[in-house]
Chains A and B, each alone.
Chain A
Amino acid sequence: MSYIEIKNIWKYFQNNVILKKINLKIEKGTFICIFGPNGCGKTTLLNIIAGILIPDAGYVSIDGKKSNDNIIGYIFQDYRESLLPWKTNLENIAFPLELRGISKKERNTKVRDIVKNLNLRIPLDSYPYQSSGGEQQLVALLREIIAEPKVILMDEPFSSLHCKSRDYLKIEIQKIYKKLGLTIIFVSHEITETMQLADRIIVMKKYPGEIINILNINFPRPRTEELVFSSGFSDIREILRSQI
């Protein structure tokens, strides 16, 4: 049995088939990108994996348990709406520990350790609204990581960022992913981003939302913007282009 099993998921909204027979197996420590046009059901699928939304048929199991019974990381497109503006960046990152009743002192040590360990520069004592978009999204990512989730779901997390912070984060997230051995499911509708990040690309189409292709991507990491010049890049890009 695989680490994450998505079995025969169907989802309807008002008699429309939104997700049709989604089957997917994901191994621990892989970086999955779900790629597809707007409205193909990517967010709906993530919500089902997170246990926020109940499918009309099928199930998701993570590490042998129902998704609801696991701690799951979820990063939204709009970081402004998921960070807590009344808390500092440090307190935001420490929030999952606070929920578990861990002492303030221990929380602070843990946050500072993890930031140092990952070599990140984040203004920990500032508030999110005093930080750049990239810093805020990193805070959101660290808050998920500190909870030690079974899987981290990311829903177009970079789409509301400036391209400079986007490039920076694409590199950072690859480093963090490798260093901590995370399992990530990353949703995107951007071809280059998808190819830069994914070990495996799950291609979806819409009306109804269905998986139409799965591509393995083997370019060496960390993959920068230079990836577009590698041999083999354009072949895969053409496949992705033709399918949306």
Chain B
Amino acid sequence: MKLFYKISVLIFFLALWFFINQNHLIKPIFLPKITAVFSSLQEIIFSEYGLKNIFSTLGRVLIGFFIALSFSVPLGIFLGVFKKIYESLEWFIDFFRSIPVTAMFPLFLIFFGFGDASKIAMGAWACGFIILVNTISGVWNSKPNREIMAKTKKASYFQILTKITFFEALPFIFTGIKIGVSWNLIVVIVAEMFIGTRYGLGRLIYDSSITLDTPMVFSGIIIIGLIGYFLNQFILILERKIIHWQ
């Protein structure tokens, strides 16, 4: 039944779109013909060129995400546990977190060049701060009893961090992952548009808009939307599987 409603909503929007096309309510340069968008979509999905665009973007997002994850989680647990160190770094973290990464384009270009590295780094930067801050709150939110229990069993400091604190923080880490990945996608797309690249959905949209190929612009947007949606769904499934106790 739920699926039925979901599909109904989809059909409703497609029908509305079709209706607008048929009655020429909006100029095609603003809202292209639904059929034209479908053929552009086909062009992307069934061509090597199109797939290269998709996988370049997806690859940058995923690599950046894993870099962010591998830095932010250990660092977040460390800073969460050592409150004194966190307190002296708090202003620093908050300061850099407050700067939109897009404002730092030139810096990333200087440090990482015009290739993939700068785009991945920018995505990782944006994503990393979000995971970091959430991991820290996760550590702060853990109840002391399990840690006390482990201490009475003579657990080492490292054992407490990896066997207790990490798991206690996991629900928060996942919150960070969900928000972080969305931001990562945004930043990578914007970076592709403005730094330029051979392949990438951001570039595809940008180039198509310059040539006024509105159907292709729409297709690019739709595919980005689908990537974002399915990434999020995948993370949700993973979350339910891993944090099964919540």
Contacts and interface: CB of A to CB of B under 8 A. Distances in A.
A208 interface: no
Contact of B145 (A73, A76, A129): A76
Given A84-B146, A84-B164, A74 B152 contact: yes
B153 A127 contact: no
A59 to B, nearest CB: 18
Given A52-B148, A129-B245, A81 B159 contact: no
Interface in B146-160: 146, 148-156, 159
Contacts of B148: 52, 74
B143 to A, nearest CB: 5
B153 A78 contact: no
A99 interface: yes
B164 to A, nearest CB: 7
B155 A99 contact: yes
B27 interface: no
Contact of B167 (A81, A86, A95, A129): A86
A81 B143 contact: yes
Contact of A81 (B145, B155, B164, B245): B145
Contact of B245 (A73, A76, A78, A86): A86
A147 B245 contact: no
Contacts of A74: 148-149, 152
B6 interface: no
B152 A84 contact: no
A53 to B, nearest CB: 10
B146 A82 contact: yes
A47 to B, nearest CB: 9
A141 interface: no
A95 B148 CA distance: 14
User: Chain B: interface residue count, which band?
Assistant: 20 to 34
A206 to B, nearest CB: 24
A127 B150 contact: no
A71 interface: yes
A242 B121 CA distance: 72
Contact of A85 (B151, B153, B156, B245): B245
Interface string A52-87: 100000000000000000011110101001101110
Contacts of A81: 143, 145-146
B244 interface: yes
B50 to A, nearest CB: 42
A131 to B, nearest CB: 12
Nearest to B150: A99
A18 B244 CA distance: 41
Nearest to B244: A127
Contacts of B159: 99
Given A84-B146, A99-B159, A72 B152 contact: yes
A96 interface: yes
A154 interface: no
Contacts of A82: 145-146, 149
B56 to A, nearest CB: 37
Interface in B131-147: 143, 145-146
Interface string A82-124: 1011100000000110110000000000000000000000000
A71 B167 contact: no
A129 B153 CA distance: 23
A50 interface: yes
B154 A99 contact: yes
A71 B152 contact: yes
Q: Which one of A82, A86, A96, A98 has the greatest number of beta carbons of chain B within 10 Å?
A: A86
A73 B154 CA distance: 11
B157 to A, nearest CB: 12
A99 B143 contact: no
A169 to B, nearest CB: 19
A85 B243 CA distance: 9
Interface string A123-148: 00001110000000000000000010
Interface of B: 143, 145-146, 148-156, 159, 163-164, 167, 170, 243-245
30 contacts: A50-B152, A51-B152, A52-B148, A52-B151, A52-B152, A71-B152, A71-B153, A71-B154, A72-B152, A74-B149, A74-B152, A76-B145, A78-B145, A81-B146, A82-B145, A82-B149, A84-B164, A86-B167, A86-B243, A86-B245, A95-B150, A95-B153, A96-B153, A99-B150, A99-B153, A99-B156, A99-B163, A127-B245, A128-B245, A147-B153
